[in-house]
Structure formats: C-alpha cells, structure tokens
Structure 1
Amino acid sequence: MASNRSGMQRIQSPCVGLCSTTVGDRVCRGCQRTDEEIRDWFALDADSRTQRMLALDTLRARVASRFLHVDDPACLEAQLVRHRIRFRADQPALSRAVELLRVGRTRMQDLSRYGLRRHASVAHLAPDALYAALNEALMQEASLRLTTAPTDPPV
C-alpha cells in the first residue's frame, strides 16, 4: 500500500519534541511557536503552515547569525545526517545549526568539525553555554511574536 495515496502530503511541523507550552510557557522553547500556533497547527492549510515555518526559520537564522557563521553548509548537513538530527531540505543553514547545537551541545567540542564558527564576541563560550545564550536570545525574539502571530485558524 502506498504511504502517500491520493496525492496527500504529510503535514510538516516544526515540532522538535521538546514542548515547553505544556508547562506554561506561551512560546515553546523547542520550536518557538506560540501556544496558539501549536494548538491550531493542524487546522491551518498547507500554505499557512509553510509561511509559518518560513517565519520560524527566518527568526532562528536571524538570531543565530549574532552568534554563529556557517563556513561549510555541506559539512553541517553531513553532521546532521550522521547524528540523525531532523531537518528540512529548504531549511536555512543557520536554522539547522540551532538544531545541531540544541541536540549536540554537551558532546560537541570543535564547532569547525560541524562547519560552524563562533563570532568573536562568543568565541570563549563552550557549545553548551553558546546554545544557552543563543536560546535565550531566541526566546526573547520569539516572545515578540505573541503580539504579531496570527491566532485564528482559517475557517
């Protein structure tokens, strides 16, 4: 039996399995969606989901660019595959880097082996501290979306 009958597409989600909205956060620390976006995700049409995922990738890349530079996108992708970290083909490299740090921050030593380079302002930070700083900045920016993120699913 075909897994994709009638041209139906699998619904993509930015969920990374680390939902902090269940413990009261208004913005998820894992995927940076608002609690309303998470609640309404499957009611959104494909175009709306695609636009939201693009907005989240843009947010991650913008914030990550303050901390990191991707020197070798192919190396980064190879490491994501090697460590079985989920990513999308259309996902920007800096958004992918956020996922790599989230998953591997306690085991990584030399970021250049992953195609990444720290900015000079954070060169002294170990990968776990780098991720903590990046994630804090990401959550601050993501929280701003509470006032601008659409909250009603399409009818």
Structure 2
Amino acid sequence: MSDLLRRVATPCIGVCSTGIGDDVCRGCKRFCHEVINWNSYSQEQKRIIDARLDSFLVQVMQDKVHIVNADLLAWQLQVQRVRYPLHKDPYIWLFQLLRAGAGQIHQPREYGFTVDVNWQDRSLLALREAIDREFFLLSEAHYERYIGRYVQKEG
C-alpha cells in the first residue's frame, strides 16, 4: 500500500504525561498540542508528525545499535509475535523488539543486530531506557526550540 494511502496510526502507547502538564509526552514523544488535536489532523499532518518521531528515534538508535541483518530481525519479530511496522525503517522495528522483550535477548546477533561498542557495558534493558530517555530529550529540545519559545511569548 502506498504511503499516501496508508492511514497513520496513533503513536500513543498509553503512557501520556501531557495531562499532568508536560509539553512533550513521555510515552509517545508527541507535543502536547499534537496529542490533544491528533484526531482532528489530516493524514498528511499525521504523516509529518510520524516522520519527525521516526527520524528522532532512528537517530538515537543508530548511535547505540547496528542492524546487521534486517531479514533476521524481521523473522525474529514474527517468531516472537512482536508487532512492527513493515513499511518503516528497521531501526523502528528494533525499538519495538527492545520495548517488547529487551530482557529476554541474550545474543543480539541472533536477532540481527549488535550493540555499539560504547554501549556494550549495559544490559539491553538499560540500553532501551537510555534510548527512550534520549528520544524524549531530543523531542523536548525540538519542542523548546521551535514551539515552546513562541508559546511562552504569547502567554
């Protein structure tokens, strides 16, 4: 199916923090106004938000892990019954795998990836938490640079 025809699913993971005052959701990393207005956005608007989130996550992932066999990763995701967006970058798939079962993976190469030498001293659970934290910080910095400073001036 063409990307233009594909409906963009909500990135919500059910851990919303915008309701408690965060400008960026700690769960899905969308900006507060994006969470609030998601259902009123066009598919194109949703695609733009989704692409930004994907680019931030891929950037963070590529710094910490390396996919050596995307076919093996896809096969393992299917075997482990982990849902993943086939149309997206394999680093997005890998994040889904880490989210679902980082504590169960003992030999990353058997799943089609390796951990960067600078991160090999951490467990995959700790690595997943570091990735999620950096993903959040990147989203938050983007919000502050391009959105927040204008919102604060208006208020």
TM over 0.5: yes
Residues 30-58 of structure 1, C-alpha deviations (whole Å, 9 max, x = no match): 32112211111111101111121111111
Query: Where in structure 1 are there 5+ consecutive unaligned residues?
Result: 1-7, 151-155
1:100 aligned onto 2:97: yes
TM-superposed deviation, 1:86: 2.6
SS of 1:106's partner is helix
Q: Is the 8 A contact 1:109 1:126 kept in 2?
A: no
Distance 1:117-1:9 versus aligned 2 partners, 3 A rule: closer
Higher relative contact order (CA 8 A, sep 6+): 1
- Decide which structure has greater helix share: 2
Query: Where in structure 2 are there 5+ consecutive unaligned residues?
Result: 149-155
TM-superposed deviation, 1:141: 0.5
Count of aligned residue pairs for this structure pair? 144
Runs of 4+ in 1 over 4 A off after TM superposition: 8-11
Match of 1:109 in 2: 106
**What's the TM-score, normalizing by structure 1?**
0.80
Show the 5 A alignment for 1:71-110. 71-110=68-107
**What's the TM-score, normalizing by structure 2?**
0.80
Following the alignment from structure 2 to structure 1, what is the Cα–Cα distance between the partners of residues 17 and 28?
9
Identity %: 24
